[in-house]
Structure 1
């Protein structure tokens, strides 16, 4: 990449002056923690992609932190996650009323007074260019990670210090507006979900424009055939045949996902007994979650000679039920609430059985009224599906814009260059000279000189950055 005037390539380790630090967090084991301790233990879960998540509730005593010679965090420190997801994400530590340390899988970077702008460096680490380098340095098979030594090797395009301040101001302004737009997209998505839930509730209540239908409340066992599926055992004797085998993963609420269908070998008579028919409702037996219990979708006959596993319960509607009406009513709040009650167990898990499904009660209007309710619901589904599609596109667009803004910021295309700016080489030369005068590389750990107590928290940092700009949130066209 051709660098703009005044910019310079440098490894991450060259950006930390002698008074700064570049170190891993501390090795704090479970036995070292104390829920009543005064020192907060920040963890990987606290490190977001550009923001501090504030999730960890772990603590330790001041005495234990002093005994382990922990590195205490300061407001404005950059926290870099050395494990996914995503690997290498970075945020600024916002400070706390309590002293805080962090775990060994989080790298701490402090830029000090004479280093680069810490906010600029945090966003640079999160940029696509740097994230790609971090990915190339990752190691491990099941748990990917990057070592601090490899993190030090990551190369950054460093602009003049004055331009770093301008980049931060412009970048955070753009991202603030983009975040506001993303919040609106999420809010609209939630409202769309609520609208569809209200539509299903109207079906359950028999509400049509201008009237309410009359229905009978019947048990499922009175209007449908309920049966279990096939258990896929390791010791099933092969009979040299293979049939499509639907699993829990193939059934979402109100829709089927047939992108990955397994196969199973069947014994004589099993295909005739378990073969799915168009309109069969497949009900998820349970996965322990009250939100997902009993989710169901109608089989559409897309695959010939399909059967289903024993964790799916088949509900085959009789002459009094339209398959589409059954699917709508089953996924309505009326039935979902019933399922949660009957599926709850003393162990805290939520599971169903064929007997529990048979005991579910549903309103059964005439076939003509069922058809009218289905047509009304399908009209609303068309609207909500179109809205969801637009919102998904907007969400994807938002993520693309976020990456594009970060990419432009760190290639010199976000703000104009000023020939009067002192080149980045001057700043890097000063850092290098200061380090050589004090013995070489930046510190890898700083240990407290005395025990940290509630009355003596770590001193506030001397920030090298300009005050952050408060961006005005406004609509951003997606």
Structure 2
């Protein structure tokens, strides 16, 4: 059975699938349901159940650590997970939206919230195949085309997921592909876990190097001057952006939080704004340290030094600028701020608004800042830079391993969805037949549900109709106007 070449079904026309396959949508081949919202009133109740949320679902892996509980009285059956259900992240950073994992029965009796979407495959569709399709959509960027951004979080709605295209091979071929991919993908996943573990070790080493150069305040040498950031230099918040300043006579480039990484400024996407009358105030000078004012909590205060490129550039209020005084080297200031970042010092100063953490200029000014003699600053900056450079080389190697592993995964999935990974069997029942059976089963199930609802309504009406009217008694006799009935009274001692 021949197959037309398919490099990535994300952009393939409906004529590009292997023979015997068929295109469908996610809604055609399974049930899609958003999880239950959380509510303060459900923090306790008679039917407390554990639930999974977005922080528990990683690609092809569910981590039950830190699961919470909620009262699911009357609705647990609707949100209860069954083995084979595939969970996808509904809200995340854009490149992680739709990150899928299969629930395999552990932990038992668990539900899920509306930060996740559940896909439950219809009969004839292998859940493992659905997981592979969703993983391919994740890595090909297909899900990113469906996201909507709200308060800096990307969302993939259940409605949009239902309409996403879904390639369907014959059932037997689904089993063959899933079996062939199982070992190969497991090896790639193991590499990812190893790289992730190495990154954690590297972060611990980097923190140790920085803490060795700039220890905790109680360990500062006696000849160091203990001061605050505000006294070691000047701190200034950048200029706010405004639609009226998109054009004007003094348009200048500016840096924003998206340009500032740790010890690195990315000038690949620098915007312009009119700085008429204020450019001198916000113009950067070589040696200025820029710190992220607003970011996710663990990245607030992420610092980098401006070294003069690009020239004539300003900065906006998503950044704070520190300009060192005469007795503080810019390199030393950068080292101190990197130390504070990795030691979690800045996190103690953040305030959260609309899902973003903020480090105000006033709070940064109050953060402790050690000032050794200038010669000692130079020595510490030089030796620490050398030690960190070795760690940076290791990190570059990990980055290469990650890219290589990702490329292998995409190539492997491409082979699977092109029909080249396993032999095709002309005797396999076609995917069109499978989709026809799924439609028939769903129509039959819907007919059953309608009949059950009709029977329930009929039963309720029949019950009302069979209630006998109240019989009349002597006490129910209608009295003429002005007459008064004597009612018997009973007393008990």
After superposing the two structures, state which structure 1 stretch, 193-202 or 358-367, moved more: 358-367
* Aligned partner of 1:370 among 345, 352, 377: 377
Cα shift at 1:392 = 0.9
Q: 1:227, CA displacement in angstroms?
A: 4.1
Aligned match of 2:22 in 10, 21, 24?
A: 10
Q: CA deviation at 1:226?
A: 0.8
Cα deviation code 1:82-134 (max 9, x no counterpart): 9986677654332353275887994644444xx35442343245446997998
Which residue of the other structure, out of 160, 163, 169, is the alignment partner of 1:157?
169
Which residue is 2:298 aligned to?
A: 291
With structure 2 as the length reference, what TM-score do the two structures score? 0.65
Per-residue deviation, 1:374: 2.3
| Cα distance in 2 for residues equivalent to 1:141 and 1:220 | 38
What do the CA deviations read for 1:398-437 (whole angstroms, capped 9, x no partner)?
12212222222333433456x7xx822279758857986x
Matched, 1:280 2:288: yes
Paired residue for 2:74? Answer: 63
Q: Which residue of structure 1 lines up, in the alignment, with residue 462 of structure 2?
A: none
What TM-score comes out, normalization by structure 1 length? 0.67
SS at match of 2:359: coil
Partner of 1:243 in structure 2? 252
Answering whether residue 295 of structure 2 is matched by residue 261 of structure 1, we say no
Residue 179 of structure 1 aligns with which residue? 189
* Residue 381 (structure 1) aligns with: 388
Cα gap change, 1:174 to 1:326, in 2 (>3 Å): same
The 8 Å contact of residues 283 and 295 in structure 1, kept in 2 or not, is answered as yes
1:328 pairs with 323, 335, 344, which one? Answer: 335
Task: Return the alpha-carbon distance in structure 1 between the equivalents of residues 243 and 19 of structure 2.
Answer: 66
Tell me, yes or no, if the aligned pair for 2:26 and 2:166 is still in contact at 8 Å.
Answer: no
Gaps of 5+ in 2: 5-17, 453-493
Task: Say which SS state the counterpart of residue 372 (structure 2) adopts.
Answer: strand
Aligned to 2:490: none
Q: Which moved more, 1:40-49 or 1:220-229?
A: 40-49
Correspondent of 1:424 among 428, 433, 443: 428
- Whether 1:76 and 2:71 are equivalent positions in the alignment is no
Superposition deviation, residue 328 in structure 1: 1.3
Alignment partner, residue 401 of structure 1: 408
* Per-residue CA distance 1:44-86 (angstroms, 9 max, x = gap): 88766544566985756453467xxx48653224557899866
Match of 1:119 among 115, 122, 128: 128
Question: How many corresponding residue pairs?
Answer: 423
- Name whichever structure is richer in helix by fraction: 2
Q: 1:100 to 1:43 in 2, by over 3 A?
A: same
Q: Would the aligned equivalents of 1:23 and 1:443 in 2 still touch at CA under 8 Å?
A: no
For 1:252 and 1:74, locate their aligned partners in 2 and report how far apart those are by CA, in whole Å.
Answer: 42
8 Å Cα contact 1:39/1:59 also seen in 2: yes
Question: Compared with structure 1, are the counterparts of its residues 265 and 213 closer, same or farther at alpha carbon in structure 2 (3 Å cutoff)?
Answer: same
State the alpha-carbon separation in 2 of the partners of residues 42 and 364 from structure 1: 50
Aligned to 2:477: none
Residues 76, 111 of structure 2: 8 Å contact kept: no
CA distance in 2, matches of 1:247, 1:394: 30
Q: Which residue of 2 aligns with 1:392?
A: 399
